[in-house]
Amino acid sequence: MTVTKVFASTAPADLVDFSKDSLKVAAASIAFNPIFWNIVARQEYHNRILTKLFGGNSRYGCYFLAVLIFSLGIIRDYFYEQALRDQPALDILQSPTVKYAAGGLFLTGNVLVVSSMWALGVTGTYLGDYFGILMDSRVTGFPFSVTDAPMYHGSVLSFLGTALWFGKPAGLLLTLFVFVMYQFALRFEDPFTAEIYAKRERARAKKSG
């Protein structure tokens, strides 16, 4: 089943114009990004492709992936905004109250994203674990004291705030798709990352024993 058919079955046609190519491109970009970085990161973990590309320097490989992921995020956001501009607005979403709520959601989302990046650093944010760049201990302070996935949840809130700001039901639908894709990503990332650190602890225990 295509993304367009999934969307068409969950929203009235008069609220979302499914004929617009910009909507399809935005949805494809939203789906592509987490799939791409999970595939690349796992390939790095198993085969050290990026590390080899940078002459055995895992940090340079991680920095390269960070720039790539960040750039893809900007492109995705551009496609998302273009999709919203091509979609019909809903009068009930044009009120000042909705605008204030939109601003609050967008601000909250960005606080979660930026503070998460600050707490984790570049390598912690951009899958450094898969490059063998492990953190000394689990980060438990803000924003991880609020949510275990502040980057993803913050991003969803930012998408939601943008959709409400423009008053576009299509944006709400795309936000739901963002949430679904991030949940999908977490189901793959969390167990794999946990095993990376568990493997390190087993190696430490074996060495000390």
Whole-number Å distance between alpha carbons of 144 and 117? 11
pLDDT score at 1: 47
pLDDT score at 8: 52
Q: What pTM value is reported for the model? A: 0.89
Average pLDDT (71-88) is 97
Whole-number Å distance between alpha carbons of 104 and 98? 10
In total, the chain counts a number of residues equal to 209
Q: Where are the alpha helices (DSSP H) in 9-95?
A: 21-47, 49-53, 58-85
| Domain locations in the chain as residue ranges | 14-208
Whole-number Å distance between alpha carbons of 117 and 75? 19
pLDDT tens, residue by residue, 7-44: 555 555 589 999 999 999 999 999 999 999 999 999 99
Per-chain mean pLDDT for the chain: 93
Average pLDDT (179-206) is 93
Long-range contacts of 9-16 (CB under 8 A, 24+ apart): 10/173, 10/176, 11/169, 11/170, 11/173, 14/88, 15/88, 15/90, 15/169, 15/170, 16/87, 16/88, 16/169, 16/170, 16/173
Q: How far is CA 145 from the centre of its chain?
A: 19
Average pLDDT (132-152) is 93
Q: How far is CA 63 from the centre of its chain?
A: 17
Average pLDDT (159-186) is 97
